[in-house]
Amino acid sequence: MSTVIAPPFIYLMAALVCPLLPSRWRALLLMGIPVLALLVLLAYPAGNHAVLSVVGFELTFMRVDKLALVFAIIFSIAALLAGLYAWHVRDTVQQVATLAYAGSAIGGVFAGDLISLFLWWEGTAVASVFLIWARRTPAAFATGMRYLIIQVLSGVLLLAGLLLHFQQTGSIAFEHLGLVSVGTWLMFIAFGIKCAFPLLHNWLQDAYPAATVTGTVVLSAFTTKMAIYALARGYAGTEILIYIGAIMTLFPIFFAEIENDLRRVLSYSLNNQLGFMVVGIGIGTELSLNGTAAHAFCHILYKSLLFMSVGAVLYRTGTSKASELGGLYKTMPVTMVCCLVGAASISAFPLFSGFVSKSLILDASASNGYYLVWLALLIASAGVLSHSGIKIPYFTFFAHDSGKRPAEAPVHMRAAMIITAALCVLIGVVPGPLYSLLPYDVDYQPYTFDHVLVQMQLLIFALLAFVFLMKTGIHPPEVRATNVDTDIIYRKWIPSVFPTLVGAVVAVNARARSMIMALLGSGYGNIERLTRPGAPLARGWSVASMMFIVIVLMCLLLVVNLL
């Protein structure tokens, strides 16, 4: 396979060629390249390929194993579906960014060393920000800059960590790292930023809804899942991840419930689903890692489907605010059905994809004695049903009649949603093909009486709770407002103290300058007095005096050298 171009470079070559093509050919390229790259990567045998020696380092651009393969396959499928969904887009910036972004993400999962991982890591950051800037508004530019700063910070931490790790171990291999040194801790934090750990998460809710209609679909597939892959590769079995993941599943529920912008609701829901995967990585058993890989695979599909559905509504109505929508089932029935399939999948209804992947993680947490974590995951599952399984379709299509009568989504958008919905159902009904792709052999049956009964009880009680809250008026109303999360730090606190800080810095600077100038003036005056006629420095010096001074200086220099 050494003569075959590695799949990530196929994407990058296509990104270079894309601007030279007519608009229709560019749209075809976005769909054709993922198919070509998928066929190429499936032809690679297991092992290391595309190995390049650079200044004494061996960079491995294609480390093919089952863990990398399952992520690369779903990334390729996501790129294909996003290309179909974006068929109408004629913006060269978005098309080039999509190709470069997808290629960098696939390159990241195939990276066999930390240096090539860093290169692809930064590639995703630079390429993806253009999907936000493509809206070409001042707000989108500001959001993109915040997003880029966070992503580049993650890259800087990764670079610092790998340098310290190399200094300590002499190795750049990207394998199990563990929290054993400052370097591995820095890389852990770098991965955590892109994985949207608690308190490091708000870039996701800030940036994804700010992207274009099609750009949000692309963004939802790659960055965070590449971070999940990196954690699974480098930190499987790290127990702290179990508790980080449990917190991730719970805290977004409150924000999603009160959020009015449905794309922000889905962004919080994305954060919640990442928590399930992080828990699986932290447990570190074969069952839990299989669950993480399976859930990442399914999550990319149903989350893309939900973003596609809300994106289609935004495309037709110009808004994704729950308070401005409702009654759209009358004119957008296909979009509505696809949204319901995505909602059922993310809620883990039996016969939908989320059920066959989430069950693996839940069983792994219970079988390894993490009963409180298992309970937290159950509570989080109920929360997911409320804010994504019910809230998204209800307020978009069935709540109060907004009076809007938009046309159904364009044909290509409907085709992308229908295919994605079909995959969600197919995986849920026949999970065997997905299980065969997972990193370890799967001996697991999701459709047992206990699994189905427990899940249906949970879902039914969550549905009843939602109905009760709505009927009693306790459910938070959809308010036209911007909810503040950890972004309060840079949206409110820093701006409030910034003028005071600037004033203090200016005052200290002025005082320091005046003191320095006073000292310099005093010193200059003293030197001037010493050089006036008749002053010591203005008198004539005898040769004996000069020789004496030179001897003293030489003696001092000798003493210093001896010491």
- The mean pLDDT values, 10 residues at a time, for the chain of 563 residues are 76 93 90 94 90 86 94 96 93 94 95 94 94 92 92 94 93 92 95 92 88 93 94 94 94 83 90 94 94 95 95 92 87 94 92 92 92 91 83 86 88 96 96 93 87 84 78 67 65 68 77 82 70 63 72 79 65
Looking at the structure, do residues 216 and 292 belong to the same domain, yes or no?
no
Helices (H) and strands (E) in the chain, counts: 22, 2
Tokens of residue 247, six digits: 């917190």
Looking at the structure, do residues 475 and 418 belong to the same domain, yes or no?
yes
Amino acid in position 5? I
CB distance 205 to 264 below 8 Å: yes
Query: In this predicted structure, what is the pLDDT of residue 327?
Result: 86
Looking at the structure, do residues 174 and 320 belong to the same domain, yes or no?
no
Other beta carbons within 10 angstroms of residue 515's beta carbon come to: 10
Looking at the structure, do residues 212 and 245 belong to the same domain, yes or no?
no
Is 505 among the domain residues?
no
Is 17 among the domain residues?
yes
Burial 100-123 (b: 16+ CB within 10 A, else e): bbbbbbbbbbbbbbbbbbbbbbbb
Is 179 among the domain residues?
yes
Query: In this predicted structure, what is the pLDDT of residue 470?
Result: 72
Domain count, the chain: 2
Looking at the structure, do residues 202 and 293 belong to the same domain, yes or no?
no
Looking at the structure, do residues 10 and 107 belong to the same domain, yes or no?
yes
Is 499 among the domain residues?
no
Looking at the structure, do residues 231 and 252 belong to the same domain, yes or no?
no
Q: How far apart are CA 87 and CA 85, in angstroms?
A: 6
Is 348 among the domain residues?
yes
Is 366 among the domain residues?
yes
- The residues, any chain, with a CB within 8 Å of residue 63's CB and separated by 6 or more, are 47, 48, 49, 110, 111, 112, 174
Looking at the structure, do residues 249 and 133 belong to the same domain, yes or no?
no
Tell me which residue range forms the domain holding 332.
238-481
Tokens of residue 265, six digits: 């609701």
- CA 129 distance to own-chain centroid: 12
Looking at the structure, do residues 213 and 272 belong to the same domain, yes or no?
no
CB distance 352 to 425 below 8 Å: yes
Domain final residue pick, 481, 505, 527 = 481
Sort 441 into a burial class: Cβ within 10 Å, 0-12 / 13-18 / 19+. Answer: exposed
Q: Coil, strand or helix: which one is 350?
A: coil
Other beta carbons within 10 angstroms of residue 394's beta carbon come to: 15
Q: What is the pTM of this model?
A: 0.85
Query: In this predicted structure, what is the pLDDT of residue 307?
Result: 95
Query: In this predicted structure, what is the pLDDT of residue 1?
Result: 47
Tokens of residue 232, six digits: 């699974």
Is 83 among the domain residues?
yes
Looking at the structure, do residues 269 and 314 belong to the same domain, yes or no?
yes
Looking at the structure, do residues 372 and 249 belong to the same domain, yes or no?
yes
Q: How far apart are CA 430 and CA 428, in angstroms?
A: 6
Q: How far apart are CA 305 and CA 85, in angstroms?
A: 10
Domain final residue pick, 235, 269, 302 = 235
Looking at the structure, do residues 294 and 342 belong to the same domain, yes or no?
yes
Query: In this predicted structure, what is the pLDDT of residue 372?
Result: 93
Q: How far apart are CA 273 and CA 296, in angstroms?
A: 9
Is 498 among the domain residues?
no
Tokens of residue 295, six digits: 């859930």
Sort 308 into a burial class: Cβ within 10 Å, 0-12 / 13-18 / 19+. Answer: buried
Domain final residue pick, 425, 446, 481 = 481
Instruction: Give the dihedral sign, CA 313/319/322/326.
Output: negative
CB distance 280 to 360 below 8 Å: yes
- Nearest CA to 347 out of 484, 524, 521, 466 is that of 466
Tokens of residue 491, six digits: 């949206």
